[in-house]
Amino acid sequence: ESGQSQRCAAGVLTNSVAPNCVSKVELSISCNNLLDKDVGSKSDPLCVLLQSIGDDKWTEVERTERVKNCQDPEFSTKLHIDYHFEKVQKLKFGVYDIDNKSVNLSDDDFLGGFECTLGQIVSSRKITRPLQLKAGKPAGKGTITVTADETKDNRAIVMEVEAKNLDKKDMFGKSDPFLEFFKQEEDGKWQLVHRTEVFTHVKLLIDCCLYFLLMVIISFSSFKFHSIHFHNFYEFYCRFDCIHPEKQKKKKSYKNSGVIRIKDCKLEAQYSFLDYVMGGCQINFTVGIDFTGSNGDPRSPDSLHYLSPNGVNQYLSAIWSVGQVVQDYDTDKLFPAFGFGAQVPPDFKVSHEFPLNFNPSSPYCQGVQGIVDAYRMVLPQIRLYGPTNFSPIINHVARIAAGAAQQPNAAQYFVLLIITDGEITDLDQTRQSIVNGSKLPMSIIIVGVGEADFKAMEFLDGDNGVLKSLTGEPAARDIVQFVPFKQFDKAPKEALAQSVLAEVPNQLVSYFKMRNMAPVNPPSPTK
C-alpha cells in the first residue's frame, strides 16, 4: 500500500453535471375590496395568471382556487412560473367571479386585473396595485397584492473530507483520486450530481435536498476507472472504510483500500440571485456610448448614429433591449448616461466621460426613455472625434461601486453597458480597469455595432481564459460580456438582451459570495 494521503478542503461545490439556469418562482395572491357582482351574496373570486407570448397574445399559466362569498380573498393556491432575469416577462393577472363549473372564463364576471413584469414583482418581492376593468376604468376600490418567493431550499451541506492510505493505482506514482456524488431517484437509480476535479484540495458543497447519497472514490489510470463505494452518507458517520468489491472477494484478510474521514460538516445558507434581489439589492444601470468619428457623420444614412425615419439605429436598439430588462431592478429608475470620444461644447475639447444631459453633477436620465431622449438631444450638439477609450467610463462606475462595496450587506450592484463601433484604443488601461472592477460589485456589457473587427472585445470577455492586467494580475472573476450586434440583426428583438444579460445573475452572486455578504433582508433559513 502506498500510504497515500489526500485531503479535500471545505468550501463550495457547484452542480456541474446538471446546472439549473431557471429559477422557479411561487406567487401568493390576495385581494381587497373586490366588486360585488352577485345579488344577495358576495362574489366568488378566482385569480388567473396569464403570460405574454408576443404579438399581444397571452397564454394561461395557472389559476387559483375559487373562494366563496368573499370580497377580501387570500388564495391558498400558489401560482408557479419560471423566472429568467434576461427576459422581460410580461404578466397579466385577472380576477373573476365564478358562478358555474365551466373552466372557460368568458362567461364569468370580470372583477378587475392588472399587468406588470415578473421582474417588477421579484425586485420588490411584494407589490400591491389597484385593479382595473377592461376599459381601463378603476374596479372600484379593489386592489391585488402579489408576493413572490423562490421555491428552493437555500441551505447547503458544507463538508471537509480527508482520505488516507488510499490504494496505489498508478504504476509509477500515487493515485489521482476524485470524488463523485450521486443522489437516488424515486425509481431507485442513482444520478450523478457532481464530480470534483483531481486535486489535493477540493471544495465541496451539496444541496440540502440531496438526502441520500452514494460517494465514490475513483482513480484514473490509462483511461481505466477503479471505484470504491460507501453507502448511507445521510447517517453521517465520521469515518468510513473504502471497500474495493473485487479485492474483498479475493482476499479473506482484506480490510479496506483506505479510509475516508469527514472532519467537519455544517449547514450553511447559499444565497441565489433572487435571494439578493428579493432581499433588497438594487441593480444600477449605466450607459456609455461611443461618439468617435469612425461612426460616420450622423447626418449621413451610412452613419451608425444616423436616425432612420422611424427614429432608431443600432445604438438605440441596444439601449432599449438591455435597458428595458434592467430597469425593473432599480427603484428610482434614474440611470447615468455618458458619451466618449467626442468634442463637447462649449469649448469642443475631446471628452471620454461626458454626461449626455451635459450636467456633470447629475448625469441621470429618467428611465430608458430618458436615455433615448438625451441621446437624440446631444447628437446634433457634439462633434464626433476620437480615440476610443473605455477606461474613463469603467473607472467612473468603479468609483461608485467601490463606495457601495463598503456597505455591510448586498445592497447595490452595478451594470455598465458600453456600445461601441470599433477597436479599443486604450486596451492596456482598460484591462487594468476591468481587473480592478472584478473586485467590485459590477458587471460590464459591451455591444459592438457595425462591421468592425472586435477581436479585442472578445479578448476582454475572458471566456477563453482569465483576463489579466498588463502586469499579470488576474481578474478576481469574469465580469465582461461582449456580443456583436450584427449577430442579432435579424433575430427577435429580445435576443440581444437575453444573450448579454444571461451571465449577470451568476456574476452578481459570485461577487457577494466572494465577499461573504448576505442579502439586506435574508430569506428564512427554512424557506
**Residue 174: band (very low, low, confident or very high) from pLDDT cuts 50, 70, 90:** low
Q: What are the DSSP calls for 129-188, one per residue?
A: EEEE-TTS-EEEEEEEEEEEEE-S--EEEEEEEEEEEE---STTS---EEEEEEEE-TTS
CATH 1.10.3470 holds for 154-269: no
> Exposed, middle or buried, 222 (CB in 10 Å: 0-12/13-18/19+)?
exposed
Q: Strands (DSSP E) along 222-305, which ranges?
A: 224-230, 239-241, 259-269, 282-290
Q: Fold identical between 154-269 and 274-514?
A: no
Look up residue 495 and give its DSSP letter. H
Question: What is the mean predicted confidence (pLDDT) over 382-403?
Answer: 97
pLDDT of residue 42: 86
Q: Which residue has the higher pLDDT, 64 or 263?
A: 64
pLDDT of residue 192: 73
Name the residue with cell 377592461: 134
pLDDT of residue 296: 96
Contact 146, 121 (CB under 8 A): yes
pLDDT of residue 332: 93
Res 186 pLDDT > 90: no
- At residue 357, the 3 state secondary structure works out as coil
- pTM higher than the cut 0.75: yes
- Give the integer Cα–Cα distance in Å for 357 and 337: 8
Q: In what order do the strands lie in the sheet with 190-195?
A: 190-195, 177-184, 213-221, 224-230
The amino acid at 511 = Y
pLDDT of residue 17: 34
Architecture of the structural domain at 274-514:
3-Layer(aba) Sandwich (3.40)
**Residue 243: band (very low, low, confident or very high) from pLDDT cuts 50, 70, 90:** confident
In Å, how far from its chain's centre is CA 129? 26
- Give the integer Cα–Cα distance in Å for 518 and 170: 44
Core vs surface per residue 137-173: b (16+ CB within 10 A) or e:
eebbebbbebbbbbebebbbbbbbbbbebbbbbeeee
Question: What is the mean predicted confidence (pLDDT) over 428-449?
Answer: 97
pLDDT of residue 173: 57
**Residue 218: band (very low, low, confident or very high) from pLDDT cuts 50, 70, 90:** very low
Instruction: Please say whether the dihedral angle defined by the alpha carbons of residues 82, 87, 88 and 90, taken in this order, is positive or negative.
Output: negative
**Residue 203: band (very low, low, confident or very high) from pLDDT cuts 50, 70, 90:** very low
pLDDT of residue 162: 74
> Exposed, middle or buried, 301 (CB in 10 Å: 0-12/13-18/19+)?
exposed
Question: What is the mean predicted confidence (pLDDT) over 31-44?
Answer: 86
Q: Which residue has the higher pLDDT, 251 or 175?
A: 251
Contact 306, 436 (CB under 8 A): no
pLDDT of residue 191: 73
Q: What are the DSSP calls for 188-217, one per residue?
A: S-EEEEEE--S-SS---EEETT--SEEEEE
Question: What is the mean predicted confidence (pLDDT) over 342-350?
Answer: 96
- Give the integer Cα–Cα distance in Å for 300 and 294: 13
Percent of the chain with pLDDT over 90: 62
pLDDT of residue 228: 45
State the average pLDDT for the chain: 85
- Among 459, 392, 447, CA closest to 422: 447
- Determine how many CB atoms are found less than 10 A away from the CB of residue 212: 13
**Residue 490: band (very low, low, confident or very high) from pLDDT cuts 50, 70, 90:** confident
Res 224 pLDDT > 50: no
Which stretch of 75-84, 415-424, 449-458 has the lowest confidence by average pLDDT? Answer: 449-458
Q: What are the boundaries of each domain within the chain?
A: 23-150, 154-269, 274-514
CATH 2.60.40.150 holds for 23-150: yes
Q: pLDDT digits over 98-115, tens only? A: 988 889 999 999 999 999
Question: What is the mean predicted confidence (pLDDT) over 74-95?
Answer: 96
The amino acid at 483 = V
